[in-house]
Amino acid sequence: MKNSIRHISERRILFLTFLLLLSCYGCETDDEQTVAMFTTNLVLAEEFDTDGIPNPEVWDYDIGTGPNGDGWGNQELQYYTDRTDNVTVQNGVLLITAKEEPFEGASYTSARLLTKDLFEQRYGRFEARIRLPFGQGIWPAFWMLGADIDENPWPAAGEIDIMEYRGQEPTKILGSVHGPGYSAGAAISKEFNLENDRFDTGFHIFGIEWGPEFVNFYVDDMLYNQITPEDVTGPWVFDKPFFILINVAVGGTFVGAPSEETVFPQTMLIDYVRVHENTNTN
């Protein structure tokens, strides 16, 4: 397996050591429980080693401009497709490409992959190694939705944004949760700033550690935020299975429209997506 997971144990030790140090402050019992949740049982490893279409046993696609034709509720400008022009695997990397082109009434195309009805999990470590695109109006994301969303429409189903990025701000990403009473612009969120580097010039690992009553966010194994039920302004809905989404949007309320300086095509490169389960909590 390329990009061997031999480094996971080393990262885990550093991560747990950091959390253990945090347990010296605040409620000792709660912090000790948080440390005890993490294990290293790998349950999904999408390494994108086979050229062509992404693994159909794991990945499906959203197609179009949203069920209401409103840019997926965000006034996004792209039409999502499953064409190889927009999504393909080459040389061990998943490529999601946003293009400027007329297509089905839209001015841009791109792709959004999801594991809905194919893979879902409650709790664990979810991570991806990604090189992000760049430019005004480019909106990539690696995120999750509650698997009960068909019966429990957003935001009630819950959303975890592992990584959300404005293409015009190549040194910043956001990690957020959305739920009833704290969705969209009221999401519980924190920004991570990359020092002396940019997210569009190399690969970085974006991930969460998720257990009962906490979601921890990290970039390149640096823990930068923890969200707990005490932090949200409504019910905690992160106690059930979620599925994964990964996409590149164009335009929308979060980033604004592309400018004349935005260069197309823009491609997000995904080296791997991996999920570990917390055997103590499933």
Tell me which residue of 141, 125, 114, 148 sits closest to 241, measured CA to CA.
148
Distance CA 154, CA 192 (A): 25
- For 18, list phi and psi in degrees, rounded to 5: -65, -45
The answer to whether the CB of 261 falls within 8 A of the CB of 136 is: yes
Q: Give percent helix, percent strand, percent coil of the chain, each to the nearest 5.
A: 10, 40, 45
The residues carrying an active-site annotation are 159, 164
Number of Cβ within 10 Å of residue 173's Cβ equals 28
The answer to whether the CB of 252 falls within 8 A of the CB of 110 is: no
Tokens 């159909």 label which residue?
56
